[in-house]
Amino acid sequence: MIDINLIRNNPDLVRENIKKKYQDHKLPLVDEVLELDRLNREAIGRADWLRSQRNSISKQIGAMMKQGQKQEAEAAKQQVKDMQDELLQLEQKEDEYAQQIREKMMLIPQIIDGSVPLGKSDQENVEIERYGEPVVPQWDIPYHVDIMERLSGIDLDSARKTSGNGFYYLLGDVARLHSAVLSYARDFMIDRGFTYCIPPYMIRAEVVTGVMSFAEMENMMYKIEGEDLYLIGTSEHSMIGKFIDNILDESSLPQTLTSYSPCFRKEVGAHGIEERGVYRIHQFEKQEMIVVCKPEDSMHWYDQLWQNTVDFFRTLDIPVRTLECCSGDLADLKVKSCDVEAWSPRQQKYFEVGSCSNLGDAQARRLRIRYKDENGKNQIAHTLNNTVVAPPRMLIAFLENNLQEDGTVRIPQALRPYMGGKEVIGQA
């Protein structure tokens, strides 16, 4: 949510930003907010005047009574009562205006960074750089589920019976590989100075609406029936929510945290759930990283976060690239974002395995996450998040890139301590 002062003082900038995101249907929101804000400020001004007059007249009533001016005192009492009745109406209007303004403001997209490329959809995202040499082996790479089944590592049929499409049982070495990757990711981020955290897996509605847009919420979140609780779609949600209503000391920033959690997603939309596969599913686990920092430091941390993911994948011998998200592909709360994509030898193309986002002050403004600067003044913090790794999607990249011609899967050196020293899994 952007600052109301920005709309008041520079509405053309807000309109231009909406156009850059190809959301022209939202342009009327700017004028609607300005009008509601005008009405709200008029109501506040009238209410302040009435309070002043009420207090002044109230003080006069006692003097009137002492002087025997009973009729005048009764008239003054009626005047105070009328003022009080009008005040109650104005206060109700103020609440209504404030609520309407907030609802409309939450639909207006965050001002994107000037470096973001313009484009209508993810088809216009821009490749920044590649890391590692994409290799296409001389032998055919099977579909990832086939690789897992040959390793006796997955059971989709049983999961379909117990839970439906979008779920799976991982077994044996594949299940161990899944856990090993997450354990390695945890230690990788701890070694980079991040504090490890296991957050709540359910959060209240106020936190949900604080960390994401309404469209994302509708398409992603599972609501707990009869409770003010939602299952998290990523640990970023509860990790940022950890700081709700906090005023942090400037010396405590940046807050750099890495978190493990299961994630639950409806996956409503164009992509849908795979009938046979684990690329897009309802339940998975993830290692995440988040940063809460001062505004002037957020771009530095943005570059640091996505680089962490690139470095992590390269230690597992997986070629990756970074892809800058264009304006039309940015969620409304994001200032700047890039995807990390891993190489798929089978498809001979890259696919998304992580996403890094700088949300500026959008989440912090909604959740009232502030810090006290050197002058003792409260300032809105900036928040960022990025995926370290998200099995089982990462397992697809891992298995395809480390599959050997004899059907075994090579375990890179960095992961072997987490796999009991194994150098390969599967039988030749």
Asked if 100 and 36 count as a contact pair (C-beta separation under 8 A), the reply is: yes
pLDDT computed for residue 292 by the predictor: 98
Asked if 419 and 322 count as a contact pair (C-beta separation under 8 A), the reply is: no
Return d(Cα 18, Cα 27) in angstroms, integer: 7
Confidence of residue 428 (pLDDT cuts 50, 70, 90): low
Nearest to 362 by CA among 217, 210, 141, 249: 210
H/E element, 169: strand 169-170
Rg of the chain over all Cα atoms, to the nearest angstrom = 28
Find out whether the peptide bond into 28 is cis, omega within 30 degrees of 0. no
Burial of 273 (0-12, 13-18, 19+ CB in 10 A): middle
Domain assignments of the chain as residue spans, ordered by start:
4-105, 122-425
Confidence of residue 65 (pLDDT cuts 50, 70, 90): confident
The pTM for the full model equals 0.89
Q: Return the residue matching tokens 């009574």.
A: 65
Mean pLDDT of 48-59: 84
Angle, vertex CA 14, rays to CA 10 and CA 15, nearest 5: 110
Return d(Cα 261, Cα 288) in angstroms, integer: 8
Distance of CA 121 to the CA centre of its chain: 19
Asked if 186 and 258 count as a contact pair (C-beta separation under 8 A), the reply is: yes
Same fold, 4-105 and 122-425: no
Region of poorest pLDDT, from 67-71, 163-167, 206-210, 247-251: 67-71
Confidence of residue 272 (pLDDT cuts 50, 70, 90): low
Confidence of residue 275 (pLDDT cuts 50, 70, 90): low
Mean pLDDT value across the chain: 92
Q: Which amino acid, 179?
A: S
Mean pLDDT of 106-127: 95
Class of domain 122-425: alpha beta
**What architecture is domain 4-105?**
Orthogonal Bundle (1.10)
Between the alpha carbon of residue 79 and those of residues 46, 93, 112, the distances in Å are 16, 21, 52
pLDDT computed for residue 273 by the predictor: 57
pLDDT digits (tens, 9 = 90+) for 361-402: 999 999 999 999 999 999 999 999 999 999 888 999 999 999
Burial of 405 (0-12, 13-18, 19+ CB in 10 A): exposed
Nearest to 370 by CA among 194, 219, 250, 196: 250
H/E element, 126: strand 126-131
H/E element, 324: strand 320-324
pLDDT computed for residue 358 by the predictor: 98
pLDDT digits (tens, 9 = 90+) for 309-365: 999 999 999 999 999 999 999 999 999 999 999 999 999 999 999 999 999 999 999
Nearest to 178 by CA among 70, 286, 318, 56: 286
